[in-house]
Structure 1
Amino acid sequence: MIRPFIKWAGGKTRVLPDLLPLLPKGDRLFEPFVGGASVFLNTDYPRYVLADINADLINTYRMAKGATQAFISTAKELFKNGNSKSEFYRNRDKFNAISDDEHMLKAALFLYLNRHCFNGICRYNASGFFNVPFGSYKKPYFPEAEIRLFAEKANDTTTCFIAADFRKVLAAKAINERSVIYCDPPYLPVSDTANFTQYHHRAFTVESHRALAKYLRIVRYETGAAVVISNSDTPATREIYQNYKFYEIGVSRSLGAAAVSRKKAGELIGVLDVGVSK
């Protein structure tokens, strides 16, 4: 199993043994919610379109693909003497202050924050500023080998990275009957406090899920593309995505720092029925 170089809440590494057999063959995989990219790294599609609404994440992937050595060198410098509270907050302030046009430094700082912040959480306040506190790890791991593997695969498959809402991704003219769409949107909460879903300063709500379900039905009907989703096993999930055949799995999922806090949570993988209508 190839591991991502970005830590990501809700990452799919643990469920890959259940998910991969349900992803059909195709010419191109579209992921509107790429997150940590573990599905990309562990599948063998000829082409990929990987998207996320988080522009910082997509910029980091673009730098890893297009300027691999420069990205590694820039990020590695930040790791050298960066494992202290003072350096962390200095780098966090820099990340929030610099222009999005400074693609390389922004990407290197994003990786630094991802590996040094509390539990690898990616969270922004209402103003769009990254606000996760220092993680106090003994020695954060620098994922050089993982970056190189990611870059190699992204270049070999001419992967396209898009910073966009799912609506734009699902409107792509390249989607056809040989395409596979895999969606792993922020999870519907099992309870009011059970899940963390604020990966971007714009929250993904129940209404967002309803809109996604509608778009996926339309795309399936109009293009014939295969559609697979994953989410938490809740009554709301089963109601919103009612046209899917569900497969139940149990995963260990927690955003607590201690492994002892991790408990089995119900999760669903859904495959959209062939005969679905708009």
Structure 2
Amino acid sequence: MAKPNKTILKWAGSKVRIIEQLRPHLPKARRLVEPFAGSCAVMMNTDYERYLIADVNQDLIDMYLVIARDPDTIYSIGFEKLILSIQNDSKTYYGTRDAFNKRHKSKYDQAWFFLYLNRLCYNGLCRYNKKGEFNVPYGKYKNPYFPEKEIISFIDRAKNADIVCLEWQDTLSLVDFDDGVYCDPPYMGSGFTQYHTAGFSDADHEALAIALKDINDIQGNSITVSNSPEATELYADLGFTIHEIDAPRTISAKGNRKPAKEIIAVLEGVK
């Protein structure tokens, strides 16, 4: 079996490690709508005709748009790869983080800052404080990896994608009758919800689940959701079929790297 395609970013909860378990439960559709794009692991490892890739994190989406749409991206890879290798120190990291948070640079510069921070920050976390400032500390990696192959692969796959910065509610409003929907929200009870200043509460989880059920009832779209076991009752009560899987931990919990339980909740489409 071929190895799954890796992603540009290191990402908490990336679906690369479980893509073979997830793939059979993904919607069968012409276009896949993802309101929580994250690392784009699903787009990088599936072959839908079209994608609607959305996320509320403006920095994340701006980076994807620069990489996918800027004709100079491919020529910058070598330079940025060099910068990552020779400026791997705490002084440069925190200086770059401060410059990134001041947001005085162009979207092009901000995109590469974001990638630099992701590759050198602790555990590849994406976390902000209430002021909207990226606040993950330096990760002290000896040999950081620059995702050159992943960037080139992303550019190719993004040709079939519309990439937008939207709240999940607005993204779901764009779902057409023949679309499939895959949602990978911050997991219920995970603690890793501050990838955007608004966070994601239990009330948000309930609102999302009900909205997805409504879309299935009204339009007949196939729906797939990844979440933690804490969300089992919520989705089961709405009629979702629940599949439980073991997923490798991408962030250690007090040194514990044993597999964690996850659920895949599915509503079949109505033709």
Task: Flag whether TM exceeds 0.5 (same fold).
Answer: yes
Q: Aligned residue for 1:122?
A: 126
Q: Name the CA distance, whole Å, in 1 between partners of 2:202 and 2:84.
A: 38
Q: 1:31 to 1:241 in 2, by over 3 A?
A: farther
Q: Does 1:111 pair with 2:112?
A: no
- 1:1-278 correspondence runs (5 A): 1-67=4-70, 68-70=73-75, 72=77, 75-76=80-81, 78-99=83-104, 102-155=106-159, 157=160, 159-172=161-174, 174-176=175-177, 178-189=178-189, 195-234=191-230, 236-240=231-235, 242=237, 243-256=239-252, 261-272=256-267
CA distance in 2, matches of 1:113, 1:125: 15
C-alpha separation in 1, matches of 2:113 and 2:75: 13
* C-alpha contact (below 8 Å) 1:50/1:161 kept by paired residues: yes
Aligned residue for 2:262, secondary structure, equals strand
Whole-Å Cα distance in 1 between the matches of residues 258 and 139 of structure 2? 22
Code of the residue aligned with 2:91 in structure 1: it is S
* Maintained 8 Å contact 1:254/1:261: no
Please, which runs of 5 or more residues in structure 2 have no aligned partner?
A: none
TM-score (norm 1): 0.89
Q: Distance in 1 between matches of 2:82 and 2:163?
A: 26
Paired residue secondary structure (1:161): strand
Deviates further, 261-270 or 50-59: 261-270
2-structure distance, mates of 1:74, 1:93: 21
* Distance in 2, Cα, partners of 1:72 & 1:66: 14
Q: Alignment RMSD, CA only?
A: 1.9
TM-score, normalised via structure 2 length: 0.92
SS of 2:248's equivalent in the other structure is strand
SS of residue paired to 1:253: coil
Cα distance in 1, alignment partners of residues 236 and 204 from structure 2: 12
Cα deviations by residue, 1:131-155 (Å, 9 ceiling, x for unpaired): 0000000011111111000101111
The alignment covers a number of residue pairs equal to 264
What stretches of structure 1 of length at least 5 have no aligned partner? none
User: Which amino acid in the other structure matches residue 162 of structure 1?
Assistant: V
Contact residue 62 and residue 161 of structure 1 kept, 8 A = yes
Q: Identical aligned pairs, as a percentage?
A: 40
Distance 1:142 1:10 in 2: 20
Counterpart Cα distance in 2 of 1:70 and 1:109: 17
Is the Cα contact below 8 Å between 2:235 and 2:265 reproduced in 1? no
Q: Distance in 2 between matches of 1:273 and 1:224?
A: 8
> How far did residue 225 of structure 1 move?
1.3
